[in-house]
Amino acid sequence: MFQLYKKRDFSAYITDTIAFFKIYWKNFFGNYIVITGALLALLCLFYFFIFRDLFSALFSTANEGIGYDIGYYFSDNPVLFVSVMVVVTLFAIFFSIFSIAYPVIYLKLIEETGKKDFTASEIFGRIKLYLPKIIRFGFYSFITFFPLIIVAGFFAALLVLLVVGVFVLILLIPVASVWMTQSFYIYLLQEMSFFEAIKQGWKNLFSKKFWHIVGAAMVIYVVLSVLQGMITMIPYSIMLFSMLATGDGKLGSSFGVIISVLYIVSLLFSYITSNILMVNQGVVYYSILEQNNHVQALSEINLIGQNVE
């Protein structure tokens, strides 16, 4: 059984995340695909048709060398285009929040039952119970976290002119990610309001092990980004070199479709691997609970008392 409540440092945050997937990877990802597969396939279908047409128009422009304004590409049905984009954007936001709730619920079930295997119906049934809070968190985050991150990113970009600005910009992504995910864990699993949760999430971020927590998140984020880049850039580079090898330097009519498929593959990889980051933050969440409340230590004391009886 994976031990959730445990005091950890930088290396333990990473090694225990790996240890979790060594034990649960088959059940975890199998149920993830079963539960989110239909929604994920629908989202990918939306993206494919949108980007296929967009990329095809862009590459057609590059090949023909005409003064083509991409705005005219959608001018025939502007209302339809805007409506589709709004629907797809809202659906993508909902799916993203729904998707990141999956590892939170999974870890909660491990805490409550101590089991190694769960059925998709068990996990989905619990997700349905938390669904109102999941949706509320997504809505509240849209009007709080995202504006703050945009403003912080703008000022960090301005500071790039100074040496310290580069460091701030690099640190911004993992700090914002940890703050949001810790707040999400707290809001979903504890009886707190949204603003109480983000306040506690901020405290979790700036706990005694700030650099351990942020450093571990940064390492995992960088590793996953490199892997994602390799998955998409290798086939893209092969196609590009093949095009140059023909000697005419022209892009084939199917190039927009191929680029769209690569984008979809990158999107799928991103959604699946986001679970690794969320589990890592779950490890952090339970570690901070142990650090503050000594849950595991008290549980062991209670077990000793029962054995004596």
- What does the pLDDT look like over 87-122, one tens digit per residue? 888 888 888 888 999 999 999 999 999 888 999 999
Greatest mean pLDDT among 44-48, 62-66, 158-162, 273-277 lies in: 273-277
- Residue 132 pLDDT: 92
User: CB neighbours (10 Å) of residue 188?
Assistant: 17
Domain segments of the chain as ranges: 10-308
| DSSP assignment string, 186-235 | HHHHSS--HHHHHHHHHHHHTSTTHHHHHHHHHHHHHHHHHHHHHHHHHH
* Interior angle at CA 40, CA 35 and CA 45, nearest 5: 150
**Is 49 in contact with 88 (CB distance < 8 Å)?**
no
User: CB neighbours (10 Å) of residue 102?
Assistant: 20
Each residue's pLDDT tens digit, 177-189:
899 999 999 999 9
Q: Looking at the predicted structure, is the pLDDT value of residue 144 above 70?
A: yes
- Residue 68 pLDDT: 43
Interval 225-244 mean pLDDT: 71
